[in-house]
Structure 1
């Protein structure tokens, strides 16, 4: 996704865990103003976050570290391992354990989404949708949102499936994701495209009339 100097800076933060602008300048062959500009843009886009670290007397040092969204840019073997775990459980007849796990996982996601949306606004559809979009971005769904005020409808387009390896073994995440939107918005929800069927995204048309 990233190339050139931004990729170099992201790799540096990933390796170091946390780094200041001054320390980054000492490592990469970029001007301080360029490093600062890249850091601010990466922060605005949600890939890194700032933190103040105290390492001695005096003022804490401003450092930047990776967010979950930033970490999602890097290869992970966890999804493959999860798929193998599901195969193992299924081969041992533990289907009920699998269903209980995914239901509990999605219940927690629903609670988290509700909290985020309520904190944003109890009535404003745009603010609530933006809070949900931010959560989905952090989870790696690459979401696109569109609200049609006239028809009181929300279209959510998930352009990436972070559970793609799991879905190869069980379609439970797909079933639960549709229920996720139904429970959140308490209205009619229709999935109009589906990655598992070969589409480029999972798209949900959601009625906001009852939410």
Structure 2
């Protein structure tokens, strides 16, 4: 879900929800100037899209507490944030202060943790003990949980060479990649360890609207 295509009135509902921890339908009607029917319709759609969730307000006295709505993490992510710029600035500052090894060490740990996640998914102690198809399945599961929105393709050509293409449609690291080569370089190392070969082609993008693409060629005996 994105803010593209949202009606003005639905944006108004989101704006009010953003300003409060939780809000009732009556309060939304009062603050937005929309009818109760319209507010309910917007909430139903936003709830279905995962942007809002039902909750309860603290309530004193008899009776059930009123039903309220609040933004989910997905809903909050629809609003502008300077997190990416702050991260990029922090990494550049650390490198400028001679702390490049800290940046390197941090991202090395990030990808080492993901390597362990893949091994746990495989229920194995090393990557080579599992066939390539299982490694790719585990890799896709780990990248999906990390919000990379991966698409992994695999085919064998007439000479028996296996081609693997890892496309990350939603890389969450573009700001870091703009400030340092470490996250992408260490990701290539991670993918190489899982797949069992160095990439034949790497296309790193530093804009979120473009995918990162890694291509590998493996001979059959490398599987």
Whether TM exceeds 0.5 here: the answer is yes
Following superposition of structure 1 onto structure 2, how do residues 1-211 of structure 1 map, counting pairs within 5 Å? 1-2=3-4, 3=6, 4-57=8-61, 58-106=63-111, 133=144, 136=147, 143=149, 156-159=167-170, 161-178=171-188, 186-187=194-195, 193-196=203-206, 200-203=210-213
| Alpha-carbon distance between aligned partners in 2 of 1:52 and 1:112, rounded to the nearest angstrom | 36
Q: SS of the counterpart of 1:16?
A: coil
Greater Cα radius of gyration, structure 1 or 2 = 2
| Alpha-carbon distance between aligned partners in 2 of 1:32 and 1:131, rounded to the nearest angstrom | 42
Q: Give the direction of change, closer, same or farther, for the CA distance of 1:103–1:71 in structure 2 (3 Å limit).
A: farther
Q: Give the TM-score normalised by structure 2.
A: 0.62
How many angstroms does 1:6 deviate by? Answer: 1.4
How many angstroms does 1:11 deviate by? Answer: 0.8
How many angstroms does 1:182 deviate by? Answer: 6.9
How many angstroms does 1:170 deviate by? Answer: 0.7
Q: Give the direction of change, closer, same or farther, for the CA distance of 1:48–1:192 in structure 2 (3 Å limit).
A: farther
Instruction: Give the CA RMSD over aligned residues.
Output: 4.4
Cα deviation digits, residues 10-55 of structure 1 (max 9, x gap): 1111111321223212222333233223222222222222223333
| Alpha-carbon distance between aligned partners in 2 of 1:188 and 1:86, rounded to the nearest angstrom | 30
> Any gaps of 5 or more consecutive residues in structure 1?
207-211
Q: Give the direction of change, closer, same or farther, for the CA distance of 1:81–1:199 in structure 2 (3 Å limit).
A: closer
Q: Give the TM-score normalised by structure 1.
A: 0.64
Q: Give the direction of change, closer, same or farther, for the CA distance of 1:16–1:83 in structure 2 (3 Å limit).
A: same
How many angstroms does 1:107 deviate by? Answer: 5.2
Q: How many residues align?
A: 195
Q: SS of the counterpart of 2:56?
A: strand
Q: Give the direction of change, closer, same or farther, for the CA distance of 1:155–1:32 in structure 2 (3 Å limit).
A: farther
